[in-house]
Amino acid sequence: MSLLFIVVITTFLAGLAMPLGAVIACFEKVQSDWLEQEFRHAVIAFGGGALLSAVALVLVPEGINHLQPMIACIWVIVGGFSFMALDIYLTKSNTPASQLAAMLSDFIPESIALGAAFATGNSHAYLLAGLIALQNLPEGFNAYRELNASSVYRASKIILVFILMAALGPLAAVSGYLWLSESPQIIAAVMLFASGGILYAIFQDLAPQVRLDKHWAPPMGAVFGFVLGMLGLMLTST
């Protein structure tokens, strides 16, 4: 099996976590209202933990290896401001797709970095693919709920759009594999840019939604999401 084919399949499978999250959201209703609230907030927290692990364990450590400290910091800040600008634009345009845009805007640069990681033989390539899938699952869950609440899009149409979005991942990964593998500084900049955007998204969109009054279990979703990423790093480092 060629490495390029592995890149395509791996990235597509990671992207399919988005429609899978949407499918889970279709059946999230449970009889107990408090249990439904606990589950929903725990999913949001899990996504935050997975995103944080991708930043802390893969994207930032890999990105800072090829850039000067000040340049690396600038790219993280630029990523944060770029996501903030996108968030402001979506809010002012009153679109019901802010979660969808956020999901896509971090999936694409991560897929580019994933393709380059496979091309350079990086031992963390499969770990990064797993973390992308982990974060896409709750992001797909949240994006589906946001779009479905607008009563404009049918459930089947939303899931179909998510599947088509998953196909963008392999295109981005192939570009990273073929054209950016010899440019480690560009890949590092992409990773750090994505890191800044992800950090903004965690504290702007996810963390404020985690807490429930008189409920303390949902934040443990963040702990479990981070621990899974940490476990993956430890297993691939032995």
Phi-psi region of 121 (alpha: psi -120 to 50; beta: other; left: phi over 0): left
Q: Taking a C-beta distance cutoff of 8 angstroms, is the pair 221, 49 a contact?
A: yes
pLDDT (tens digit per residue) in 36-91? 667 777 777 777 777 787 788 778 887 888 888 888 888 988 888 888 888 778 77
* Two tokens, residue 4: 């390029």
* Two tokens, residue 139: 């992001």
pLDDT of residue 12: 95
Per-residue pLDDT for 8 more than 90? yes
pLDDT of residue 41: 72
pLDDT (tens digit per residue) in 211-237? 555 555 555 565 566 557 656 765 776
Across 158-187, average pLDDT: 87
pTM score, whole prediction: 0.74
Q: How confident is the model at residue 11 (pLDDT cuts 50, 70, 90)?
A: very high
* Two tokens, residue 80: 């944060």
Q: Give domain limits for the chain.
A: 3-24+34-237
Phi-psi region of 148 (alpha: psi -120 to 50; beta: other; left: phi over 0): alpha
DSSP label of 215: B
